[in-house]
């Protein structure tokens, strides 16, 4: 789980440094919250001025890692692992941080890997009709797309739905057990959160403008049990997947995938940028 920011620059694969690191097991398998829920308790913070990645975990000493292992005398041992079926090339970030993440997760032999600059991973999602089909969309270690947009209004409606289901199941249900709005937003792990408008209107967006930047929709994001992990505690439950599946259908769509119209580095997104819908499906 990452800290909130006021602005963020673009990189070649989406937001600069976003989802560029992964933790692998002793056997070289990339770890995810599906099996290691405590991964969400590792809090990364980027410091672009100091060129460091700060890692925090409850009751552990903070670890500072250079953003660019190759230029900071870190080990340059290349390795290969799989992310969503794709082979990804990365650089081992060294023994010190490997020990730190192993202690945090209480799992020996873990390594922290940074995706190489020349890794050729691309998105397999079908572009919208207005996106260029000539060049595949470069991708970090994100599951499917450069950007995942979540609507605050949609989250609010989802929480109302969970409350209704709780009361239907038990008239004396404790509504304090229902996750709050900010908690639910965190579970969907989007890197773009928008407010205003109507709930789920993002499903119909085709081309949008955020600030001075244009994005194309690559369709809805299909959800799984990952959203049932509380990102503040690492505990797993049944919601919100249970309510979402009964309401939104078998594919359980929530949020939309986006790709940049240019696919190149440069420019910034800022908190407070206006969102404008240019075309709809």
**For residues 188 and 202, is the Cβ–Cβ distance under 8 A?**
no
Distance separating alpha carbons of residues 55 and 223, to the nearest angstrom:
27
**Contacts of residue 170, Cβ cutoff 8 Å, sequence gap at least 6:** none
Percent of the chain residues topping a pLDDT of 90: 75
Tens-digit pLDDT profile for residues 164-217: 988 887 765 566 678 999 999 999 999 999 999 999 999 999 999 999 999 999
Q: pLDDT tier at 77 (50, 70, 90 boundaries)?
A: low
CA dihedral (239, 245, 247, 251) in degrees, to 10, reads 140
CA dihedral (135, 146, 253, 2) in degrees, to 10, reads 170
Q: What are phi and psi of 61, to 5 degrees?
A: -70, 140
What single string gives the DSSP state of each residue in 32-91? -TTT-GGGGG-EEEEETTTTEEEEE-TTS--EEEES-GGGTT----EEEEEETTEEEEEE
Locate 227 and state its tokens.
Answer: 């959203």
Query: For the chain, what is the mean pLDDT?
Result: 89
The predicted structure's pLDDT at residue 13: 93
The predicted structure's pLDDT at residue 264: 60
User: Per mean pLDDT, which range of 31-35, 74-78, 158-162, 270-274 is the poorest?
Assistant: 74-78
Name the range with the highest mean pLDDT among 125-129, 263-267, 270-274. 270-274
Residue 134: pLDDT over 80: no
Percent of the chain residues topping a pLDDT of 70: 88
Query: What is the value of pTM for the model shown?
Result: 0.91
Tens-digit pLDDT profile for residues 232-244: 999 999 999 999 9
Distance separating alpha carbons of residues 4 and 150, to the nearest angstrom:
15
* Residue 103 three-state SS: helix
Q: Determine whether domain 147-280 maps to CATH 2.40.33.20.
A: yes
Of 147, 150, 136, 152, give the one whose Cα is nearest residue 257: 147
Distance separating alpha carbons of residues 239 and 164, to the nearest angstrom:
13
Greater confidence (230 vs 76) lies with: 230
Please report where in the chains the tokens 């609010």 appear, as a residue.
156
Beta strands in 59-123 (DSSP E): 63-66, 78-83, 86-92, 111-115
Neighbouring C-alpha atoms within 13 Å toward the C-beta of 33: 24
Residue 1: pLDDT over 50: no
What are the residue ranges spanned by the domains of the chain? Answer: 13-115, 147-280
What is the pairing mode between strands 111-115 and 86-92?
antiparallel
**For residues 88 and 117, is the Cβ–Cβ distance under 8 A?**
no
> Cβ-count burial of 140 within 10 angstroms (0-12 exposed, 13-18 middle, 19+ buried)?
buried
CA-based angle 85:89:92, to the nearest 5?
120
Q: pLDDT tier at 74 (50, 70, 90 boundaries)?
A: low
The predicted structure's pLDDT at residue 261: 80
Please provide the distance, in angstroms rounded to a whole number, between the alpha carbons at the two ends of the chain: 32
The predicted structure's pLDDT at residue 73: 46
Of 227, 224, 230, 229, give the one whose Cα is nearest residue 250: 224
What is the average per-residue pLDDT within 127-141? 67
User: Per mean pLDDT, which range of 9-23, 39-53, 124-138 is the poorest?
Assistant: 124-138
């Amino acid at each position: 789980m990452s800290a909130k920011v006021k602005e963020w620059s673009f990189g070649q694969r989406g937001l600069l440094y976003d989802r560029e690191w992964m933790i692998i097991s002793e056997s070289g398998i990339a770890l995810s919250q599906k099996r290691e829920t405590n991964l969400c308790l590792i809090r990364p913070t980027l410091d672009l001025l100091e060129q460091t990645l700060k890692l925090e975990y409850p009751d552990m000493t903070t670890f500072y890692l250079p953003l660019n292992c190759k230029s900071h005398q870190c080990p340059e041992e290349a390795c290969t692992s799989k992310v969503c079926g794709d082979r990804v090339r990365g650089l081992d970030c060294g023994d010190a941080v490997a020990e730190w993440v192993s202690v945090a997760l209480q799992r020996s032999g873990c390594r922290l890997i940074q995706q190489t600059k020349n890794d050729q991973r691309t998105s397999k999602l079908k572009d919208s009709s207005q996106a260029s089909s000539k060049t595949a969309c470069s991708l970090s270690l994100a599951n499917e797309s450069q950007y995942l947009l979540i609507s605050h209004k949609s989250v609010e409606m989802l929480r109302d739905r969970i409350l209704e289901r709780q009361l239907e199941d038990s008239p004396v249900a404790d509504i304090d057990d229902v996750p709050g709005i900010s908690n639910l937003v965190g579970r969907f792990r989007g890197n773009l959160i928008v407010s205003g408008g109507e709930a789920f209107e993002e499903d119909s967006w085709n081309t949008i403008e955020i600030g001075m930047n244009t994005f194309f929709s690559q369709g809805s994001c299909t959800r799984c049990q990952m959203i049932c992990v509380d990102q503040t505690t690492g505990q797993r439950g049944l919601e919100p997947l249970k309510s979402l599946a009964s309401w939104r259908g078998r594919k359980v769509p929530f949020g939309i995938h986006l790709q940049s119209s240019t696919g190149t580095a440069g420019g910034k997104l800022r908190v407070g940028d206006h969102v404008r819908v240019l075309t709809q499906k």
